[in-house]
Amino acid sequence: MTEPLIIDSDETLLLARRLAERLGTTPGDAVAQALRAYDEMPATRVVTPPRQPLGDREAFIADILARGAAVRAKLPPGTSSDHSDLYDEAGLPR
């Protein structure tokens, strides 16, 4: 015996009916087909690599500074992080 799936959301029911109409089937079959298709998709979970020990602290800091310099080198001339023109004397947005 199968367990019934109860859809309490009007939006979800509307989407199931639209999909069923496009597929020429019932809303229940349309939901089943959509779930099967989703289940077959490759997992896109983000896997975080294990943390590595810092090792040489000075080399780590030098690497970060070198990366920052590489990014700055790609910025157009005159680029600035000064946003003072966006705020008044009290620090509030103009």
In a domain? residue 20: yes
How many Å apart are CA 18 and CA 11, to the nearest integer? 11
Of the given ranges (32-41, 42-51, 57-66), which has the lowest mean pLDDT? 42-51
Mean pLDDT of 66-89: 91
- Give the pLDDT band (50/70/90) at residue 18: very high
In a domain? residue 14: yes
The confidence score (pLDDT) of residue 1 equals 57
Cross-strand partners of 87: 93
In a domain? residue 3: no
In a domain? residue 73: no
- Give the pLDDT band (50/70/90) at residue 32: very high
- Give the pLDDT band (50/70/90) at residue 80: confident
In a domain? residue 19: yes
In a domain? residue 47: no
Mean pLDDT of 75-84: 88
How many Å apart are CA 35 and CA 19, to the nearest integer? 12
Mean pLDDT of 61-82: 92
Q: Which domain holds residue 14?
A: 10-40
How many Å apart are CA 23 and CA 34, to the nearest integer? 11
- Give the pLDDT band (50/70/90) at residue 69: very high
DSSP state, residue 75: S
Total domains in the chain come to: 1
In a domain? residue 30: yes
Q: What is the dihedral of CA 13, 15, 17, 23, to 10 degrees?
A: -150
DSSP state, residue 91: S
In a domain? residue 26: yes
